[in-house]
Structure 1
Amino acid sequence: MGEVRRPNSCWSHGLVRDGTLVGVTATNRLIRETVAGFSRNDAVELFRLCAARPDLSRLVLRP
């Protein structure tokens, strides 16, 4: 998917197995001023989820 080019990136996390990066997530502030009643100051959005295999997506999202 390429590098993250959005301003104000909040958090990025990676899942590593046996020394290999197998998944990543990235969050950022909301693009719109409000979404579903939440302002940019109240919420962040998950804007990227990438996994080496489709069955790893759920695992990448787990806390």
Structure 2
Amino acid sequence: MLVLSWAYLFHFCAGIRFLLLDTHVAVHKEGGKQTALSVLIVSSLLTLAVALKLFGAF
């Protein structure tokens, strides 16, 4: 369940990243690296929140 939620959240965050790239935000190489790393971090944090909710932490 967690792997599927991470895959969904990663895909969702990457979609937002590509929408920003379509508006020419961070189109250079360094900006691309930064946004890719931020997608990985944000999707991992959101997956952690889903895991905490799933296992009854809150």
The two structures share one fold, judged by TM-score above 0.5 = no
Q: Normalised by the size of structure 1, how large is the TM-score? A: 0.25
> Hey, which of these two has a bigger chunk of helix by percent?
2
Q: Normalised by the size of structure 2, how large is the TM-score? A: 0.26
